[in-house]
Amino acid sequence: MHRTRFALAEDGCPIAYAIAPGAAGAPRVALIHSLALDRHFWDAVVAEAAGEFEMLALDCRGHGASVATGPFTAHMMADDLAAVLDHAGWDRPVIAGASMGGSVALAFAARHPTRTAGLLAIDTTAWYGPTAPEDWARRAGVARKDGMAALLEFQRARWLSDAFRTAHPQVQAAQEVTFLRTGIEAYAAACGMLGVLDLRAAIDGITAPTAVLVGEEDGATPPAMARAIAAAIPGATLEILKGARHLTPLERPREIVAALRGLG
């Protein structure tokens, strides 16, 4: 990625982003990261793409260098991306997001259809289910009471497969550093956003070419949630990545780039 730039969201929040250049005329892709991580979440995908795409990755509000404390909504984060695209001079890229970022990508495609050339929804959901408000409030409460480190063991079991963690401990370690740097109130605000998230009606209207990917062993947003997204969006494809868990852009960047190639 090149230097960090800042766009101003509608409410004045600075949104950090960076662009990795591609070959002349390369398709453009905007990337939205997972909860409590940052734009560097996409580094392996950018490296795998090797300039085949021009890639823009942002820090969602409250994450990385985009300092904010909340409250947040998925529509707000979707509009933050629109502000970033305006600042970068980008019109209509493919939108890709993972986990929280996937939910934001769904919101963006529904809210900004003329700015969405394609949609890649990875390890994500349009709705976390009827107990989501309580479930996410519990996680926010742990962070407020005991700090972000108290959630690490829970995350370790979900993010990456055991085999990948063993073979690539530096990948897990880098995400943990970012996770621990996330502000507690920003994390709690994002948890609140995900607790009330319900995009089920909105995604029915998405018309952009859409691919849905999920890890076979994803316990956070299981394949059933991916199937629901694919069933709701006309023409969407679904791919289940064997042996992968919740953060497949870290574990399986080759498959992510292949999916982008199909949309670009």
Mean pLDDT (10-residue bins), the chain, 264 residues: 90 97 95 98 97 97 96 97 98 98 98 98 98 98 98 93 95 97 97 98 97 98 98 98 97 98 88
Strand partners, 237: 211
- The residues facing 127 across adjacent strands are 198
Adjacent-strand bridge partners of 120: 96, 211
User: Strands across the sheet with 94-98, in order?
Assistant: 5-8, 14-20, 54-58, 28-32, 94-98, 118-122, 210-215, 237-241
What integer pLDDT is reported at residue 112 of this predicted model?
98
The pLDDT, as a whole number, for residue 101 is 98
- So what's the pLDDT on residue 111? 97
pLDDT at 2: 74
Tell me what pLDDT residue 119 has: 98
What is residue 157's predicted lDDT score, i.e. its pLDDT? 86
Contact between 91 and 180 (Cβ < 8 Å):
no
CATH for 5-263, among 1.20.120.80, 3.40.50.300, 3.40.50.1820, 3.40.50.970?
3.40.50.1820
pTM of the predicted structure, to 2 decimals:
0.98
User: How wide is the angle at C-alpha 123 spanned by C-alphas 117 and 127, nearest 5°?
Assistant: 90
pLDDT at 134: 98
Interatomic CA distance for residues 7 and 255, integer angstroms: 30
The reported pLDDT for the residue numbered 1 is 61
